[in-house]
DNA sequence: TTCCATGCAAACGTTTTGCATTTCG
DNA sequence: CGAAATGCAAAACGTTTGCATGGAA
């Protein structure tokens, strides 16, 4: 296992990620972390986030060409609004394990137990979308 | 509903998409379509693919910052290999409808019935990954 | 004749990288 | 000390867009 150094910047990035609501982008984290560390560079944010993802402390998800990061502790799934890009969480229990078993049998893959990404329309967008 | 013109380029893009195996990227489609239409531009490929997605003839999915397109007829789900990026299909039946109901109740979203994106490890990557 | 579609090249936003320097261990 | 992390700026990447021209309806 590769060792990683315990720098202020790394801790700051993780702190910001945890402090931000929802599923922040690298730019969100950058903006937040800069309030306390004005010299911390965007490149460092990316490098820190990658390190965190690699050690499994943080989840990365892609929505519309942007990476979003999730410091989430509890296993859960993601529902993404196809209309506005909003991302919400759903509890892991909402997707029973046997279903993943089905999919593994059908696909031959060994599937991750959590974050599965669903798409749909969020409550705020449902009404406007219905008018189409 | 917006009308769209029936140009050679559009047909060529759709033909290439359907001719290519798997879930080609815009660049893949571009490469293939260029064999028959050397002057067709990448911008046109993108515009044609967007048009097709909008009319619902084609599905778009994002894997690692790249859009992949799926001319798929049959409703199905996608399993993405976290290690190598491979994408495979799983039949829609592998994910029972009541499960989506659960998730809708839990999240408040109205979810799409298909392509749900799962991540995991594909058969080719399973063995190497186990050695870690 | 209208106006949507095309080709080209330039622009865009996100993410990565090269390199000299700093800092952790 | 040696290795890894940083800051900065430049580059890379996939994708989108402005504009003049071309072609379907």
Task: Measure in Å the smallest separation between the Cα of B9 and chain A Cα atoms.
Answer: 26
Q: Which residues of chain B have a CB within 8 Å of the CB of A119?
A: 111-112, 115-117
**pTM, rounded to two decimals:** 0.89
* Least confident interval from A116-130, B27-41, B47-61: A116-130
Is-contact A113 A92, C-beta < 8 A? yes
Mean pLDDT of chain B: 92
Separation of B98 CA and D13 C1' (Å): 40
Do residue B102 and residue A94 have CB atoms under 8 angstroms apart? yes
CA of B103 and C1' of D23: distance in angstroms? Answer: 49
pLDDT band at A12 (very low <50, low <70, confident <90, very high): very high
What H or E segment, with its residue span, contains residue B88?
Answer: strand B87-91
Mean pLDDT of B30-34: 97
Contact A17, A71 (CB under 8 A): yes
Q: pLDDT tens digit string along A21-32?
A: 999 999 999 999
Task: Give the pair of three-digit tokens for residue B83.
Answer: 């290690």
Which chain A positions have a beta carbon within 8 Å of B99's beta carbon? Answer: 94-96, 99
In this chain, the answer to whether the domains covering B8-70 and B76-131 adopt an identical fold is no
List chain B domain ranges: 8-70, 76-131
pLDDT of B5 over the 70 cut: yes
Mean pLDDT for B62-74 is 91
Compute CA distances B83 → A70, A77, B64, B110, B119, whole Å.
20, 20, 11, 31, 10
The yes-or-no verdict on residue B110 having pLDDT over 50 is: yes
- Closest CA in chain B for residue A77: B103
Query: Smallest CA–CA separation between B22 and chain A, in Å?
Result: 14
Distances from the Cα of B131 to the Cα of A53, B84, B126, angstroms = 20, 16, 9
CA–C1' nearest nucleotide, residue A27: C14
pLDDT digits (tens, 9 = 90+) for A88-114: 999 999 999 999 999 999 999 999 998
Q: Do A120 and B109 touch (CB under 8 A)?
A: yes
B68, B117 contact by CB (below 8 A): no
Of B96, B106, B121, the CB nearest to A90: B106
CATH number of the domain located at residue range(s) A8-70 in this protein: 1.10.10.10
CB contact under 8 A, B94 and A90: no
What value does the mean pLDDT take over residues B69-95? 93
- Per-residue pLDDT at A69: 97
Average confidence (pLDDT) over A83-89:
93
pLDDT at position B131 is 46
Please compute the mean of the pLDDT values over residues B51-79 and round it to a whole number: 93
CB contact under 8 A, A112 and B120: yes
Q: What integer pLDDT is reported at residue B130 of this predicted model?
A: 47
Residue A2: pLDDT band by 50, 70, 90 thresholds?
low
Residue pair B11/B52 in contact (Cβ under 8 Å)? The answer is no
pLDDT higher than 60, residue A129: no
Task: With cut-offs at 50, 70 and 90, classify the pLDDT of residue A132.
Answer: very low
CATH entry 3.30.1490.190 includes domain B76-131 = yes
What residues in A contact B111, CB-CB < 8 Å?
79, 118-120
Q: Say how far apart CA B111 and CA B117 lie, in whole Å.
A: 12
């Amino acid at each position: 296992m590769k060792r990683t150094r315990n720098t202020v910047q790394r801790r700051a990035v993780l702190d910001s990620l945890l402090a931000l609501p929802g599923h922040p982008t690298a730019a969100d984290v950058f903006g937040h972390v800069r309030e306390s560390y004005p010299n911390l560079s965007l490149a460092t944010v990316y490098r820190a986030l990658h390190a965190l993802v690699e050690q499994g402390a943080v989840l990365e998800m892609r929505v519309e060409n942007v990476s979003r990061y999730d410091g989430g502790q509890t296993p859960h799934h993601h529902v993404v609004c196809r209309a506005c890009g909003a991302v919400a969480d759903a509890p892991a229990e909402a997707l029973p394990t046997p279903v993943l078993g089905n999919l593994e049998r059908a696909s031959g893959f060994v599937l991750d137990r959590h974050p599965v990404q669903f798409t749909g329309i969020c409550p705020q967008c449902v009404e406007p979308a219905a008018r189409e």
